[in-house]
Amino acid sequence: MRSHHCPNRSRFPLPFLGLALVLLISLAPPTSCCTEQEKSSLLQVLAGFSQNLGLAESWRSDTDCCTWEGITCSLNRTVTDVSLASRGLEGSISPFLGNLTGLLRLNLSCNSLSGGLPLELVSSSSIILLDVSFNRLTGALSELSSSTPARPLQVLNISSNLFAGRFPSTTWEVMNSLVVLNASTNSLTGQLPTTLCLSAPSFSVLELSINEFSGNIPPGLGNCSMLKLLSAGYNNLSGTLPDEVFKVTSLEHISLPNNWLEGALNGITKLTNLVTLDLGGNKISGNIPDAIGELKSLEELHLEQNHMSGELPSSLSNCTHLTTIILKGNQFHGELTKVNFSNLPNLKKLDLLHNNFIGKIPESLYSCSKLTALRLSSNHFHGQPSEKIGNLKSLSFLSLANLSLTNITRTLQILGRSRSLNTLLIGSNFLHETMPEDDGINGFENLQVLSMSDCSLSGTIPDWLSKLTNLRVLFLQSNQLTGPIPEWISSLNLLLYLDISNNSFTGEISTALMEMPMLKSDKTASKVFFELPVYLFSPFIQYLKPGAFPKVLNLAINKFTGVIPGEIGQLRALVSLNLSSNKLTGEIPEPICTLTNLQMLDLSSNHFTGTIPAALNNLHFLSKFNISNNDLEGPIPTVGQLSTFPDSSFDGNPKLCGPLIVSHCGSAEASPESINSREEIGSKVIFAIAFGAFFAVGVLYDQMVLARYFG
Ligand SMILES: *[C@@H]1O[C@H](CO)[C@@H](O)[C@H](O)[C@H]1NC(C)=O
Ligand SMILES: *[C@@H]1O[C@H](CO)[C@@H](O)[C@H](O)[C@H]1NC(C)=O
Ligand SMILES: *[C@@H]1O[C@H](CO)[C@@H](O)[C@H](O)[C@H]1NC(C)=O
Ligand SMILES: *[C@@H]1O[C@H](CO)[C@@H](O)[C@H](O)[C@H]1NC(C)=O
Ligand SMILES: *[C@@H]1O[C@H](CO)[C@@H](O)[C@H](O)[C@H]1NC(C)=O
Ligand SMILES: *[C@@H]1O[C@H](CO)[C@@H](O)[C@H](O)[C@H]1NC(C)=O
Ligand SMILES: *[C@@H]1O[C@H](CO)[C@@H](O)[C@H](O)[C@H]1NC(C)=O
Ligand SMILES: *[C@@H]1O[C@H](CO)[C@@H](O)[C@H](O)[C@H]1NC(C)=O
Ligand SMILES: *[C@@H]1O[C@H](CO)[C@@H](O)[C@H](O)[C@H]1NC(C)=O
Ligand SMILES: *[C@@H]1O[C@H](CO)[C@@H](O)[C@H](O)[C@H]1NC(C)=O
Ligand SMILES: *[C@@H]1O[C@H](CO)[C@@H](O)[C@H](O)[C@H]1NC(C)=O
Ligand SMILES: *[C@@H]1O[C@H](CO)[C@@H](O)[C@H](O)[C@H]1NC(C)=O
């Protein structure tokens, strides 16, 4: 995150810097050095940094401070700029900066500075630009009294710090020149500032997202006649968008996602300069008004996860600049055919997941040649995607899951024409059809994520999958597939997540699985992002890129027989291994104990025999463990990681014996007391530990591993 926003400082090579200094020093007339007072203030500032990565070499008391790195002076040698962004600075921000009476711009962003923000800087009578974003500054922001003379500050960026406490209110009354206020990503509380624009008529950017602001959107914003950006997403704001805001026709960007806002959208259509509207994750109700067509500049419309309903108005096609329409998780209904998508040639992303749309996928959609992501899942569309989908040359994300599609053979033949596809989710369709075997399935060479789960498909794992050499994630669970796991599985060099659970696969656990390159090595998959997030067990977990999927092998609920191959020890990158509910026999192989990345290990409901390998305690990250319902014997470990799991992890193994009477262990008949005693020692402490571990990592995991549905 930090490095994403903060540019790495490009350092001049030292000889060049030296030369530049020499030149500057020799060019500067000796009489026009910076004043001793400014120099000494700057040295005080330097002294405040506990870590300055070589800055002290440049800031030497025997040189002119106007030549120091990061310092700029005006012609009369007054310090006007201190630019020390991305310098690896630690320590505190010195109030002595306030002594530089000609200082106009102070930029300390992207360092690791801590402590508070000196009031001297916010209340400075010279500073017009103050950027301390991306540091570790703490404390509350001090309030300036409204009797303070007007201050010249124009741009204030304190975002991405650790500021907390109530946001100032009177401070803004003396900021007559304020244009930009950026305080996003802190822990600030209280109300949004109400009277900003009465004092600062040029105010234009208010960015307060990711804080803890509460209360309503203040009607006073109605006086902000120059406001272009209003951003306060991820707070705790409630109430409706006040009518006064709809008078601020200068507004170009409204971003208020993930609050508790309610009411309808009607007034918003007066904001004819809107480019982005993001109200996702609120409680907005009503429909998209007909007048939406008035928003001729609209590019992004995010209304996901609200309580909206009604049909999409045909006037939406008048917003010809639209690039993004995200409406998932509402109750929109009706046919899409009203909207003429041919008029939206710039459309890149359309997400309608979980609504009640009906009818056919509109033909006009296939003329949106820039479309990169299309998600229509969980609606009541019917019919096939058209062959024209091949026209969508940029389409990389397609989700048609849970739409009652039929004829998987034909669907795959059609979709194979979509050469750019990276993610294809078509699960929960094609009920009881047969997995196409034939070589008529072509294309998909760029596919990284494929879901064909929950289709009750019969047949086997088809050979055409072996050609998808970019595949990273494959979901085939909850079908009725039979036969063995094909040997070519290990030739899918990038495959890191394989879920074939809840099928009828037979045979032994193929050693080919033990050769899967991504499960053997710590290599991570591509860093490319999905065009839209992929939801597992929607909407609980979202994945933003294929590389974010954990390394998982899920073979549960099948008819696998034989022993677990010792080569399992090769899969040392594995994070989750589920072999439960099969017909596996033999002992739990010792090499499993070397899979130290495992967080989830489920061997339950098989026919395993022998003792529990003590070395399983080496699996320090294990937060979910189940060996219940087998034929294991011997003692249950009383120490280490394994002792933290509840009885249910071990239940259903009559020959396992409890910890209190270890001496009795070894005799095949464990007495009933031994089980009871284990329950007694399974005291609150043990449960607390187990639960702690489980909730830290386990809960999300659980949902993920059990997930059957993919959006
Ligand atoms: C130097 O110039 C600035 C404007 O650039 C002015 O505000 C300041 O008063 C001047 N200082 C002196 C000492 O002349
Ligand atoms: C410089 O700043 C410090 C800290 O704010 C203050 O104590 C001191 O009085 C100032 N000195 C002058 C000359 O303004
Ligand atoms: C501060 O410097 C950083 C890094 O050079 C830059 O990205 C940022 O825009 C600057 N801040 C302002 C307000 O100009
Ligand atoms: C801080 O915010 C200002 C205005 O919003 C912006 O110009 C500047 O680039 C931001 N600083 C960084 C480091 O992003
Ligand atoms: C606010 O500052 C952050 C840096 O902390 C920057 O990334 C963002 O673009 C700024 N927002 C606005 C609206 O300028
Ligand atoms: C705008 O400011 C005027 C005073 O200049 C005030 O009477 C009015 O109520 C304000 N409007 C809003 C919406 O606060
Ligand atoms: C957020 O607001 C809701 C209602 O608007 C309130 O019930 C809840 O307690 C608030 N949460 C926090 C953390 O302030
Ligand atoms: C779309 O815009 C055209 C003119 O640009 C107008 O005639 C038509 O009524 C608008 N349609 C809707 C539904 O707003
Ligand atoms: C949709 O718009 C296109 C391009 O503007 C036009 O050619 C076509 O006739 C329209 N279709 C319908 C059904 O109105
Ligand atoms: C599948 O879609 C229907 C609506 O068509 C919806 O009611 C159901 O919840 C969806 N199933 C899942 C698992 O999301
Ligand atoms: C499915 O589509 C194929 C063409 O790709 C066709 O040959 C076949 O008959 C269709 N199956 C059914 C059941 O309609
Ligand atoms: C297994 O698949 C069937 C449908 O084939 C489904 O009804 C059942 O819920 C699935 N079980 C699990 C545990 O996923």
Average pLDDT across each block of 10 residues of the chain; the chain has 711 residues. List them in order.
Answer: 56 43 44 82 95 89 92 92 96 96 97 96 96 97 90 97 95 95 98 92 97 97 96 98 96 98 96 98 97 97 97 96 97 94 97 94 93 94 86 93 92 91 94 88 92 96 94 95 95 95 96 94 78 68 79 96 96 96 97 95 97 93 95 90 91 83 44 35 30 30 35 49
35, part of any domain: yes
pLDDT the model gives residue 112: 96
Q: What is the rounded CA–CA span in Å between residue 554 and residue 578?
A: 5
pLDDT the model gives residue 537: 56
pLDDT the model gives residue 24: 46
91, part of any domain: yes
State the distance from the centre of ligand 9 to the C-alpha of 337, rounded, in angstroms.
11
- For a ligand 6 pocket test, name from 223, 224, 243 the mutation site with the most ligand atoms within 8 angstroms of its C-beta: 223
Position of tokens 């060996």? 627
Q: What is the rounded CA–CA span in Å between residue 202 and residue 44?
A: 35
Per-residue tokens: 486 = 């094909």
Angle at 637 between CA 636 and CA 638, to 5 degrees: 110
Asked if 612 and 642 count as a contact pair (C-beta separation under 8 A), the reply is yes
Asked if 571 and 596 count as a contact pair (C-beta separation under 8 A), the reply is no
pLDDT the model gives residue 32: 58
Q: Which domain holds residue 48?
A: 16-106
Give the pairing type, strands 576-578 and 552-554: parallel
Nearest ligand by distance to the CA of 104: 1
pLDDT the model gives residue 665: 54
Asked if 585 and 608 count as a contact pair (C-beta separation under 8 A), the reply is yes
pLDDT the model gives residue 3: 44
439, part of any domain: no
420, part of any domain: no
pLDDT the model gives residue 664: 52
53, part of any domain: yes
State the distance from the centre of ligand 2 to the C-alpha of 629, rounded, in angstroms.
75
Q: What is the rounded CA–CA span in Å between residue 452 and residue 468?
A: 14
54, part of any domain: yes
Q: What is the rounded CA–CA span in Å between residue 171 and residue 200?
A: 12
**What is the total count of domains within the chain?**
1
- For a ligand 8 pocket test, name from 292, 295, 315, 318 the mutation site with the most ligand atoms within 8 angstroms of its C-beta: 318
Give the residue among 567, 559, 566 at the shortest CA–CA distance from 583. Answer: 559
9, part of any domain: no
Residue 503 Cβ inside 6 Å of ligand 12? The answer reads no
Residue 236 Cβ inside 6 Å of ligand 7? The answer reads yes
pLDDT the model gives residue 529: 80
CATH of the domain at 98: 3.80.10.10
Nearest CA owner, ligand 10 atom 3 = 378
Nearest CA owner, ligand 11 atom 11 = 407
153, part of any domain: no
**Model confidence, pTM:** 0.86
pLDDT the model gives residue 549: 85
Helix and strand numbers (H, E) in the chain are 11, 45
Give the residue among 532, 453, 495, 536 at the shortest CA–CA distance from 710. Answer: 536
